[in-house]
Amino acid sequence: MANPIDVPVEMNHDSRQPPESYFVPATDVYETADQLTLVAEMPGIRPDGLAVTIEDNILVLRGTPGPEPQEHGEVLLKEFTAGEFYRAFQLPADYDTEKVEAGLRQGVLTLTLPKSERLKPRRIEVKVE
Amino acid sequence: MAMKAWVPAAGPFAELQREMNRVFDSVFGRHFRPVGRIRSGYVYPPTNVRETDDAYTVQCEVPGLEMADLEVYVTGDQLTVSGSRASTIPEEGVTLHRRERDTGQFSRAVTLPGPVDSGGTEATLADGILTVRIPKTEEAKPRRVEVRVGE
């Protein structure tokens, strides 16, 4: 069974172009007999900032943070910043992309794809769990 | 340690950078993405601390955790955030293609620069970001000194 791999960053389709700089979400990918599951970490991303598309078996995850709230005071330690998340995966053709399900909880996106033959591309609605 | 993945848009090194990013992503995942130089590791959770006149605000990136997975406590002037990250990958009947999310116990302590009122501490969790507001003790807050004009 083919491994969903990261696609090269250059892609022709504009909506799949990555931003100039971005965070890569740490992602677990595993499959059972019935489905493929991807679990991607995007802390700080809310449902209205999340875009998940599948086209030509390329899955693109984009997470855009909301406007940063005005923060007061002096910074003593800064190890993380808000920023855009982006990742693209080449999916094997074995999954029914029409029936994909997506959920976002505490900054973690979980996508499940049942196995079937390849269908037409569509935009996926993300449910808030 | 959260790192910005710098992907230069163009130029002679753009393709080389992208190739390197791809290799690192496939092997290490986000937290080991090199920025300018190789990083040897990171602490968890990535933490920001701000100080105002009234309080310290500590934020930690803890995607996928719920309040039940976290212990947050203040002892003296030290804040400790600890807990455990469980894997969502089933034990059996699974073919693993990629595992980048870390799991296991963690504990991180941040010593604040001044005395705090542990009883007034408030913690909230949203979108995988824990925010802890720890008020300073009254004595520790800066006091405005009235300047009287001499006669």
Residue A72 lies in a domain: no
Instruction: With 0.90 as the threshold, say if the pTM is over it.
Output: no
What residues contact residue B51 under an 8 Å CB cut-off, 6+ apart? A73, A74, A76, B57, B113
**Is there a domain that residue A125 lies in?**
no
Nearest to A65, CA basis, from A44, A36, A91, A88:
A44
3-class DSSP state for residue B31? helix
Q: What is the pLDDT of residue A98?
A: 83
Number of structural domains in chain A: 1
State what percent of residues in chain B have pLDDT above 70. Answer: 72
Determine the Cα–Cα distance for residues B80 and B14; give it in Å rounded to an integer.
41
Nearest Cα of chain A lies from the Cα of B56 at a distance, in angstroms, of 9
Does residue A12 fall inside a structural domain? yes
pLDDT digits (tens, 9 = 90+) for A1-41: 456 767 655 554 555 678 888 999 999 999 988 899 999 99
Q: Strand runs (DSSP E) across chain A, as ranges?
A: 5-6, 21-22, 27-31, 35-41, 50-55, 58-63, 74-78, 85-90, 101-105, 108-114, 122-123, 126-128
Buried b (16+ CB within 10 A) or exposed e, B25-36: beeebbbbbeee
Instruction: List the single range of A17-21, A92-96, A120-124, B14-18 with lowest mean pLDDT.
Output: A120-124
Q: Which of A107, A25, A92 minimizes the C-alpha distance to A61?
A: A25
Better-predicted residue by pLDDT, B16 or B6: B16
pLDDT of B68 higher than 60:
yes
Q: Whose structure tokens read 């449902």?
A: A47
In chain A, the residue whose alpha carbon lies closest to the alpha carbon of B23 is A6
pLDDT at B26 exceeding the cut of 60: no
Q: Which residues of B touch A10 (CB under 8 A)?
A: 18
> How many whole angstroms separate alpha carbon A12 and alpha carbon B88?
34
A115 falls in which pLDDT band (50, 70, 90)? confident
Contact A78, B60 (CB under 8 A): no
User: Could you give the count of Cα atoms lying within 13 Å of B105 in the half-sphere of its Cβ?
Assistant: 2
- pLDDT of B54 reads 94
Q: Which amino acid is at B118?
A: S
> Could you tell me the residue range of the domain that residue A45 belongs to?
5-67+77-119
pLDDT at A92: 84
Distance CA B75, CA B39 (A): 32
Q: Where are the domains of chain B?
A: 1-42, 44-87+101-140
Average pLDDT, chain B: 82
Say whether pLDDT at B67 is over 70.
yes
Measured between CB atoms, does A34 come within 8 Å of chain B?
A: no
Asked if A82 contacts A49 with a C-beta cutoff of 8 angstroms, the reply is no
**In this model, does residue B90 exceed pLDDT 50?**
yes
- β-pairing verdict for A108-114 and A122-123: unpaired
Mutate to test the interface with A, among B19, B22, B30 (most CBs of A within 10 A): B30
Choosing among A6, A42, A79, which should be mutated to test the B contact, i.e. which has the most B CBs within 10 A?
Answer: A79
pLDDT at A84: 93
**Segment A37-90, tens digit of pLDDT:** 999 999 999 999 999 999 888 999 999 999 888 888 999 999 999 999 999 999
**Region B94-111 average pLDDT:** 94
Residues 42-81 of A with CB under 8 A from B: 42-46, 71-81
| Of residues A110, A107, A122, A125, the one with CA closest to residue A30 | A110
**pLDDT band at residue B53 under the 50/70/90 scheme:** very high
State pLDDT tens for residues B110-149. Answer: 999 999 999 999 999 999 999 999 999 988 888 878 888 8
Tokens matching residue A103 = 């959920």
**Whether the predicted interface score ipTM is above 0.95:** no
| Structure letter (DSSP) for residue A107 | T
Tell me the nearest-neighbour CA distance from B64 into chain A, angstroms: 5
Beta strand A108-114 pairing with A35-41: antiparallel
In a domain, A15, yes or no: yes
The bridge status of strand A101-105 relative to strand A126-128 is: parallel
Q: Residue A112 in contact with residue A100, Cβ under 8 Å?
A: yes
Closest alpha carbon to B81 in B24, B131, B148, B9: B131
Instruction: Flag if A26 and B46 touch (Cβ within 8 Å).
Output: no
Q: What is the pLDDT of residue B18?
A: 66
CATH number of B44-87+101-140: 2.60.40.790
- Asked if residue A82 belongs to a domain, the reply is yes
Between CA B8 and CA B15 the distance in angstroms is 9
Instruction: Please tell me the distance in Å from A98's CA to the nearest CA on chain B.
Output: 22
Bridge partners (DSSP) listed for residue B60:
B47, B130
Identity of residue A83: G
